[in-house]
Structure 1
Amino acid sequence: MPTPHPPSSSPRALVLIIEDEPEIAEILQAYLARAELRTLHAADGHQGLALHATMKPDLVLLDVKMPKLDGWQVLSEIRHRGHTPVIMLTAMDQDIDKLMGLRFGADDYVVKPFNPAEVVARVEAVLRRSMNDTQPPPVLRLPPFEIDLEQHEASVQVNGVTHGLALTLTEFRLLTHLARAPKKVFTRGELLAACLPEGEALERTVDSHISKLRKKLDDLGIQGVPASIRGVGYRLWAAP
């Protein structure tokens, strides 16, 4: 059964740990508690999705290899529901496996065996991004986009119809960063520093997130956004 960790006297963010190895889950709960973060634990994917729906955690730590539903299936459903930040816990350390996780919508990943203190640092970094982004204006309107910075929601209008965008936290960050200066060309390094500060500095990481964002916009008939600038990076719009 999923077991909640007793909240501290000053409850902070709630972290849902979906991990089938109880020893690992207990270590993570202990380290997160020291950082004054509340935790919930689910031992498999079904329990994890149920707790995600009812408890609305601020972040999910998600193991890849689990019974019943594996981490990729759980991540897919979480992404279908919205953009709760997700950090993957994986024993796979090949670049292709990491990039697959990012394409599925993970915001970060930690390779097992890991240092629990590093996991806490990653959690805190992602939470800072997701909980402290309250810069004005509260709503950024740049047709066809409308981006609500407080609610972390984005929509696009196509042929008079408004479509909500199911974006990951990183995709939302990238879209917002590009939309604030739609004609500026941002290097991959600039986008890494602004939108993925806690991740590994791999240019392919930015490319993967941009590709996934572009595919979602392509599916709605908005093509070539964000635009690639060969040898430099990306900007929201292509040159006229």
Structure 2
Amino acid sequence: MSARNINVDTIPLHTVLIASDRPENISVWENLFQLRDCIVLSESSISNTLQTARLVGPSLMLVDMNLSRQKRTTMLKELRLASRGPIILLVSANTAAEIIEAKQAGADECLLKPVNPAVLIVKAMAWLGHGKRHERPTQPYSLPHPRQQISRPS
């Protein structure tokens, strides 16, 4: 696992886990996310990816691995169980059935290779909520009683 040093003045909004068996792609993807103040972790094996996902609970997972359909399906199902973060899968799919299968296994987004880095980062930031951290409300939402009049400003 690799990570970058964090500047205390810039607190990253999100943690991104990159699973790739292509070292040349990892550096490209890492730089794209680091430029957007994300903490980036990268793994090159399925077992390490699953372990990191369980330990960290990343905000987003990017999977760029050359796997058989069966291994890819198993990995996606296990990643989905390990973390709630969205999964973006970079895939060289030959048929729409492969993409549907990947989405059913847990992928939130499938991008066909070769992927334009600009398209990838736009999709990823959309899944991350455009880089904005959404606070959970401290009080539960309450609705007015059905018979209560709602006052409207004039």
TM-score band (shorter)? 0.7 to 0.9
Deviations 1:195-218 (A, max 9, x none): xxxxxxxxxxxxxxxxxxxxxxxx
- Residue of structure 1 equivalent to 2:32: 31
- Residue of structure 1 equivalent to 2:81: 80
State which structure, 1 or 2, has the greater radius of gyration over its C-alpha atoms: 2
Tell me, in whole angstroms, the C-alpha distance in 2 between the residues paired with 1:72 and 1:108: 14
- Residue of structure 1 equivalent to 2:109: 108
Contact persistence 2:19–2:65 (CA under 8 A): no
Amino acid at match of 1:34: L
Deviations 1:16-69 (A, max 9, x none): 0000100011100011111222210000111101111111211100124249x9
Identity %, equivalent residues: 22
Amino acid at match of 2:62: L
Higher-strand-fraction structure: 1
With a CA cutoff of 8 Å and minimum separation of 6, indicate the structure with the bigger relative contact order: 2
Contact persistence 1:19–1:62 (CA under 8 A): yes
Amino acid at match of 2:96: D
1:40 and 2:41 are equivalent in the alignment: yes
Tell me, in whole angstroms, the C-alpha distance in 1 between the residues paired with 2:51 and 2:80: 14
For residue 93 of structure 1, report the CA deviation from its aligned partner. 5.0
- Residue of structure 2 equivalent to 1:59: 60
1:4 and 2:3 are equivalent in the alignment: yes
Amino acid at match of 1:4: A
- Residue of structure 1 equivalent to 2:147: none
Contact persistence 2:57–2:83 (CA under 8 A): no
Cα gap change, 1:46/1:98 in structure 2, threshold over 3 Å: closer, same or farther? same
Amino acid at match of 1:48: T
1:98 and 2:99 are equivalent in the alignment: yes
Contact persistence 1:44–1:66 (CA under 8 A): no
Tell me, in whole angstroms, the C-alpha distance in 2 between the residues paired with 1:107 and 1:27: 22
Instruction: Tell me the SS of whatever aligns to 1:128.
Output: coil
Contact persistence 1:78–1:84 (CA under 8 A): no
Structure 1 stretches of at least 4 aligned residues deviating more than 6 Å after TM superposition: none
Q: Which runs of 5+ in 2 are unaligned?
A: 143-154
For residue 6 of structure 1, report the CA deviation from its aligned partner. 3.1
Q: Which runs of 5+ in 1 are unaligned?
A: 141-240
CA RMSD for the aligned pairs? Answer: 2.8
- How many aligned residue pairs are there? 138
